[in-house]
A and B are shown apart, each in its own frame.
Chain A
């Protein structure tokens, strides 16, 4: 297993465009998480899935954001009508169970909205 994979690594988009990111977790992990990290800050929780069910969403996840994990494997995070404030690193992580064992993070997708 090669760990958590995220695609693309970098994305530059114009304000108002839609973007979609993909995350492939470690295959035996049933929990998948999305975080956002802005410059100089720690990652902030966005949402998480257990298998295909989205069980929690942060207030940071506005209506323009949607995440899916249709078959309990890979996940996508879509941002509609991007704004400059959406520029950040979007991190995906997976774990075999809740919290105490820590997560495995992907390398992230860096989004720049111009």
Chain B
């Protein structure tokens, strides 16, 4: 079945460091791909999305490119801030589910220190 695999956390970085969080997926057809962020005590917020191969989603300095050949959607940011500390979830919306549900990875916790 459809699935999402994320790198395990926690990821601990110093402020202004470069961030990569790996995400790979398994799905039939052509899923849409998402990154959600969950700050402490809050619900999930959509960070960025890509709906077809080679699309690049971007928001708040974060970027991810839909790579069909490697079935990946890695999240990157050139210079992290303390305020980026949160849990990041990669997700897909698949044709097999009629695009009616999201399948999430387990999440990657990011801790950024001053």
- Chain A residues packing against B (C-beta within 8 Å): 4, 31, 33, 35, 40-45, 48, 55-56, 91, 93, 98-108
Contact = CB atoms under 8 A, between A and B. Distances in A.
B66 interface: no
Contacts of B101: 33, 45, 48, 56, 99
Contact of B98 (A43, A98, A104): A98
A8 B67 CA distance: 40
Interface of B: 4, 32, 34, 36, 41-46, 49, 51, 89, 91, 93-94, 97-107
Contacts of A104: 46
A91 B44 contact: yes
19 contacts: A4-B43, A31-B100, A33-B101, A44-B104, A45-B101, A45-B103, A48-B100, A55-B100, A56-B97, A91-B44, A98-B98, A99-B93, A99-B99, A100-B49, A100-B93, A100-B99, A101-B49, A103-B46, A104-B46
Given A40-B106, A100-B49, A104-B46, 4 more contacts: A48-B101, A91-B43, A105-B36, A107-B42
Nearest to B35: A102
A41 B107 contact: yes
B24 to A, nearest CB: 14
Contacts, number: 68
A106 B34 CA distance: 17
A107 B43 contact: yes
A42 B89 contact: yes
A108 B43 contact: yes
Given A40-B106, A40-B107, A42-B89, A105 B100 contact: no
B86 to A, nearest CB: 14
A109 to B, nearest CB: 10
Nearest to A58: B101
Interface hub of B36, B94, B100 (most chain A Cβ within 10 A): B100
Given A41-B107, A42-B91, A42-B107, A103 B102 contact: yes
